[in-house]
Amino acid sequence: MKVLKFGGTSVGSAQRMKNVAKLITGECNIIVLSAMSGTTNSLVEISDYLYKKNPDGANEIINKLTKLYLGHIDELYSTDEYKKKACEYVKLHFDTIRAFTKDLFTMFEEKVILAQGELISTGMMTLYLQECGYKSVLLPALEYMRTDKNAEPDPFYIKDKLLKLLNENKEADLYITQGYICRNAYGEIDNLQRGGSDYSASLIGAAIDAEEIQIWTDIDGMHNNDPRVVANTQPVRYLHFEEAAELAYFGAKILHPTCIQPAKVNNIPVRLLNTMQPEAPGTIVSNELEKGKIKAVAAKDNITAIKIKSGRMLLATGFLRKVFEIFEEYQTPIDMITTSEVGVSVTIDNRKHLDEIVNDLKKFGTVTVDEDMVIVCVVGDLEWDNVGFEARIIQAMKEVPVRMISYGGSNYNVSLLIKAFDKTKALQALSDHLFNHH
């Protein structure tokens, strides 16, 4: 059995839902759906109005959204019977949302509202498949997807409940389920964070020991550079999980970083596919490593670099600990680090506590801040005893001012920190030197 996940744009209209239906009806697999595109954002907006005690603002969006969905229903189903069923189903969910506009609004109500997008899209798809004559069974994620007291998924609970549900519904042609939503350790409705449907798919794949996890989006796999910035990027056919993790974290938007771990640990290949071009091979992410190859370049924007220079660091012990403790105190993760004997530079992407951090760091040395920076990350099998790849990367950057260089944290990436201003030039130069030089 496989797990196929379709994101918001892939189910973003009635026509797209019909296209997805064609792709999923051949085999008995588990299909994970996101909310239709834009819906979760609207639900966030509704919640925002309710937090601000403005039920009229919330109702306006709810009414708009209801109208939009009634239009989708009209287009999706061909019989009055199913149009009616779908209307009733969708209205029920909008009534749930509306009920919260009258009462005290807290985080608990918000999570219930955020869950409605996936509940609606999966309900609509299940009904559509039934109208087309398939025995499609809806597996309610709220009955098996669960997080523990640390807000981490509970793989034993998930496996146990999901296998039971599958067992009770053996006669199905295929299974539909919600991405993103879950219950927490207290049984309350919760979610796996924005973009969490990929994570759902990976957790489900691990639970059923799937043959493969497919993540369907609207581009043809992971590209070897950012197609929005660089001309002539190509899809990457094979990636190791570690390479995919670096790329996902450093800006390649296609796969959510959390999705990698469960698939990797259970050795289940993840295939990235394109709904607009279903026959294209896409990208396969697995535990196979292609030796000695540089695979791709990704960039992470809005980075701030902080340098702490201190004579006291020379031969001192505990200096780095003191520096890192300040970042920890302000819950600000560090992305990149470089050190010299008299100083250390780090980068952060969360600037919320920048002023306090800088202020506290001044106790330990002279502090310099560089804003509007970009981390460029080159990913591949960069095993340290391979020779030449560092030279090629540096050669590509010969016209670009580089603020930090980091290699050796893993065998899979070299990271460079540059000015945002130089991003296009740097990415293009890396593509030209690393991929297009033949």
Residues that bind ligand ASP (CB under 6 A): 7-8, 34-35, 40, 117, 179-180, 194-197
* Gap between the Cα atoms of 273 and 436, Å rounded: 24
φ/ψ bin of 388: left (φ > 0), alpha (ψ from -120 to 50), beta (otherwise):
left
Report which of 3, 61, 55, 56 is spatially closest to residue 28, judged by C-alpha positions. 3
> Is 7 a binder of Mg ion (CB under 5 A)?
yes
Q: How far is CA 79 from CA 76, 132, 146, in A?
A: 10, 10, 37
Tell the smallest beta-carbon distance from residue 412 to Mg ion (Å). 24
> Is 282 a binder of Mg ion (CB under 5 A)?
no
Tell the smallest beta-carbon distance from residue 424 to Mg ion (Å). 26
Nearer to ligand ASP, 180 or 216 (CB): 180
Helix (H, G, I), strand (E, B) or coil at 279: coil
Number of residue whose CB is nearest ligand ASP: 197
Given Mg ion, ligand ASP, none, residue 196, with its beta carbon under 5 to 8 Å by kind, binds: ligand ASP
Tell the smallest beta-carbon distance from residue 196 to ligand ASP (Å). 5
- Binding range to Mg ion, per CB under 5 A, among 94-102, 117-125, 172-180, 190-198: 190-198
Given ligand ASP, Mg ion, none, residue 282, with its beta carbon under 5 to 8 Å by kind, binds: none
DSSP 8-state class, residue 258: G
Size of the site for Mg ion (CB under 5 A): 2
Tell the smallest beta-carbon distance from residue 396 to ligand ASP (Å). 34
> Is 196 a binder of Mg ion (CB under 5 A)?
no
Tell the smallest beta-carbon distance from residue 168 to Mg ion (Å). 29
Helix (H) or strand (E) holding 66: helix 55-76
Nearer to ligand ASP, 205 or 365 (CB): 205
Q: What are the respective helix, strand and coil percentages of the chain, to the nearest 5? A: 45, 25, 35
* Gap between the Cα atoms of 268 and 212, Å rounded: 6
* Gap between the Cα atoms of 435 and 225, Å rounded: 10
* Gap between the Cα atoms of 412 and 309, Å rounded: 29
Contact 429, 399 (CB under 8 A): yes
Tell the smallest beta-carbon distance from residue 35 to Mg ion (Å). 9
Nearer to Mg ion, 255 or 357 (CB): 255
Nearer to Mg ion, 12 or 195 (CB): 195
Q: Which amino acid is at 435?
A: F
Nearer to Mg ion, 55 or 195 (CB): 195
DSSP string, 133-168: T--EEEE-GGGT-BB-TTS-B-HHHHHHHHHHHHHH
Report which of 390, 392, 420 is spatially closest to residue 406, judged by C-alpha positions. 390
Nearer to ligand ASP, 196 or 205 (CB): 196
- Binding range to Mg ion, per CB under 5 A, among 18-26, 195-203, 388-396, 421-429: 195-203
Tell the smallest beta-carbon distance from residue 147 to ligand ASP (Å). 15
Nearer to ligand ASP, 34 or 286 (CB): 34
* Gap between the Cα atoms of 345 and 337, Å rounded: 6
Given Mg ion, ligand ASP, none, residue 194, with its beta carbon under 5 to 8 Å by kind, binds: ligand ASP
Tell the smallest beta-carbon distance from residue 38 to ligand ASP (Å). 9
Q: Which residues bind Mg ion (CB under 5 A)?
A: 7, 195
